[in-house]
Amino acid sequence: MGAYRIHISRDNLMFAAGHFASYDGDKVEPLHGHNYRLGVTLEGPTEENAYVFNFVTLKRIMKRVTDELDHHMLLPRANRLVAVEEQPDGGVIVRTQGRWYRFPREDVVILDLPNTTVEMMARYLCGRLRAELAARADAAHLTAIEVSLEESFGQTAFYRELLA
């Protein structure tokens, strides 16, 4: 028995973003950034037109999602070493290990993640795509999603979810 899957990875499915992640249990990286590159694989049977899913539609969805992150500071909502405080004046203060930063709210994306590692970012992007596809009748037959996220050349995380 055979199986089908499609994959996209394009130069316009990239985003540049700042972050710092905790590591080794009690340390936090210095503020830095990456030029992330996204890949998406969808699995499932072909539909009536012999597609797993339309490439153009998938690229448009993921371009919109990556644009939400592009040129922003990515902050974790649930990290015990990184305190994120939204201020009434529209600022965001971040405190960690003797350092603190203040960002304009419009320059920040606060993610419901424990850390802004490439693994957690791949999971986040997979969840965003899953939510988008759940609202579409043309995606009801899909059986799995896999997201790959490269943070720098040779450093890629993969996250896969079964949909059935």
What would the 3-class secondary structure string for 113-163 be?
A: CCCCCHHHHHHHHHHHHHHHHHCCHHHCCCCEEEEEEEEECCEEEEEEEEC
Inter-helix orientation angle 55-69/118-134, to 10°? 130
Does pLDDT of 1 surpass 80?
no
Q: How far are the Cα atoms of 8, 30, 105 from residue 47, in angstroms, in the given order?
A: 18, 48, 43
3-state DSSP assignment of residue 58? helix
Does pLDDT of 20 surpass 80?
yes
Does pLDDT of 10 surpass 90?
no
Query: CA 124, 132, 67, 100 torsion: positive or negative?
Result: negative
Predicted pLDDT of residue 2 = 77
Prediction pTM value: 0.94
Q: Give the amino acid at 46.
A: T
Predicted pLDDT of residue 126 = 98
Residues 6+ apart with CB under 8 A from 47: 138, 141
| Spatial separation of the C-alpha atoms in residues 20 and 18, rounded to whole Å | 7
Query: Per-residue pLDDT tens for 55-90?
Result: 999 999 999 999 999 999 999 999 999 999 999 999
| Spatial separation of the C-alpha atoms in residues 12 and 63, rounded to whole Å | 7
Predicted pLDDT of residue 3 = 87
Burial 78-90 (b: 16+ CB within 10 A, else e): ebebbebeeeeee
Maximum Cα interatomic distance, the chain, rounded to a whole number of Å:
59
The DSSP symbol for 50 reads S
Does pLDDT of 164 surpass 80?
no
